[in-house]
Amino acid sequence: MTRVIAVVNQKGGVGKTTTSVNLAAALAQAGERVLLIDLDPQGNATMGSGIDKAKTTRTVYHVLLGLAEAAAVCVRSERGGFDLLPSNRELAGAEIELVDLPNREGRLKAALATLGERYAFVIVDCPPSLSLLTVNALTAAQQVIIPMQCEYYALEGLSDLVGTIKRVRAHLNPTLDIAGLLRTMYDPRSTLTQQVSQQLESHFGAKVYRTLVPRNVRLAEAPSYGTPAVVWDPASKGAQAYAAFAAEILERERGAGAAQPQAVGEGT
Ligand code: ATP
Ligand code: MG
């Protein structure tokens, strides 16, 4: 069965896109068939996959509005090794245009159904809002990954997100599950990072992924080369963390037992 994973946090700049692009590429490197969906009008996941959003005429916008088939809009990210449903600023209009359409929350899910079992994993990079686009992702997904930066305000807003997930579960998608919280931009030298990280572990227990994604310059540089960091510099600490994260997801998927926490340090 295709595993649809939404990468969600309405907070901006917490690492959703970095996680989506590198998870997609790392799963592809592990031999999985992967589709990455850029559900953000910013088009960052599209650019980070090496596809020029300005030159892309058909996007996920056309799919959501029923103007094109998903399979016809998918493009290949050669560098990432996965397929991509691209996005650009046109998608911003979908928010308003979808409101009057039937099944407005379920349009992404319906589009994915047309792809059958083509992919083992579909990763959905969401915009920084709890908008209708995000609700479409939550309706289509079985699982949610929440990237979180371990800083003072990290937990603020989490209750709104959990509330949205609960409402989607109650009305639209009963089997939706929070797969886990991923700590991003982790700085082991910061006491605050460690405190917030421990707070997350005590609140959410096994829902916190073992993998820690360090703050790593290669992760920030890779998008400017249109190449996921796990492909561009696989030896970097950031790339290694995302490879470990993909392995953790595959391990959970296969139902393997838990192992010891894994820290990935600083540096490149
Ligand atoms: P938005 O809410 O705008 O969509 P986002 O949650 O998708 O943002 P990203 O775009 O992934 O967040 O990351 C925000 C910025 O931080 C980007 O410039 C990215 O390159 C950088 N960044 C992300 N993760 C890391 C990391 N682990 N180390 C260093 N820089 C990072
Ligand atoms: Mg983003």
Q: How far apart are CA 39 and CA 60, in angstroms?
A: 7
CATH homologous superfamily of 3-254 equals: P-loop containing nucleotide triphosphate hydrolases (3.40.50.300)
Helix, strand or coil, per DSSP, at residue 207: helix
Where do the structural domains in the chain lie, given as residue ranges?
3-254
Q: Judge if the beta carbon of residue 240 lies within 6 A of ligand 1.
A: no
- Residue 127 Cα to ligand 2 midpoint, Å, equals 6
Q: What is the pLDDT of residue 151?
A: 87
Contact 84, 51 (CB under 8 A): yes
Ligand nearest to the CA of 23: 1
Which ligand 1 atom sits nearest the alpha carbon of residue 12?
2
Ligand 1 site, residue 128, Cβ cutoff 6 A: yes
Say yes or no: CB of residue 14 within 6 Å of ligand 1: yes
What region, left, alpha or beta, does residue 12 occupy, with left being phi > 0 and alpha being psi -120 to 50 degrees?
A: beta
Contact 264, 231 (CB under 8 A): no
Atom of ligand 1 nearest to the CA of 18: 11
Q: Tell me the two tokens of residue 185.
A: 């931009």
Q: How far is CA 95 from CA 59, 123, 146, 204, 211, in A?
A: 14, 20, 22, 32, 34
CA 12 to centroid of ligand 2, rounded, Å? 7
Taking a 5 Å cut-off on Cβ, the residues next to ion ligand 2 are: 16-17, 44
Model pTM score: 0.95
Mutation to probe ligand 1, out of 11, 17, 87, 216 (largest number of atoms < 8 A from CB): 17
Residue nearest to atom 30 of ligand 1 (CA): 220
Mean pLDDT of residues grouped by 10 in the chain (268 residues)? 97 97 98 98 98 97 98 98 98 94 97 97 98 98 97 86 96 97 95 92 94 98 98 98 98 68 49
Q: Is 216 in the pocket of ligand 1 (CB under 6 A)?
A: yes
- Ligand 1 atom with least separation from CA of 221: 20
